[in-house]
């Protein structure tokens, strides 16, 4: 998926990643947090093995992942974490 995120300074960053990379970032953000703080990380859009070949589903998932990533990157506590910066800047 190609997700474009506009940062607070106006810079647009493109993240070319597979769904599994988004799932790994979610896990890396969530696992070290205490249970009470895990709800601060937005849920990932669901997977659907039966729909993954439908263009409309894939486009909606890309938009949902882009929204999820923007929520993480622009979050005051999550966006500044090293794991997020590395993930966004790392090529797929």
Cα 39 to Cα 20: distance, rounded to the nearest angstrom: 20
CA contacts within 13 A on the Cβ side of 85: 4
- Which of the 8 DSSP states describes residue 4? E
pLDDT grade for 91, boundaries at 50, 70 and 90:
low
What pLDDT is attached to residue 77? 84
Q: Hey, which residues does 12 pair with through a beta bridge? A: 6
pLDDT digits 0-9 by tens, 36-90: 888 888 899 888 777 767 888 888 988 999 999 999 988 888 888 999 989 988 8
């Amino acid at each position: 998926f190609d997700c474009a995120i506009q940062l607070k300074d106006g810079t647009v960053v493109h993240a070319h990643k597979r769904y599994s990379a988004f799932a790994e970032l979610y896990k890396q953000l969530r696992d070290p947090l205490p249970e009470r703080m895990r709800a601060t990380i937005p849920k990932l859009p669901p997977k659907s093995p039966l729909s993954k070949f439908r263009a409309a589903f894939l486009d909606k998932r890309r938009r949902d992942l882009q929204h999820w990533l923007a929520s993480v990157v622009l979050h005051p506590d999550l966006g500044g974490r090293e794991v997020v910066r590395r993930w966004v800047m790392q090529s797929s």
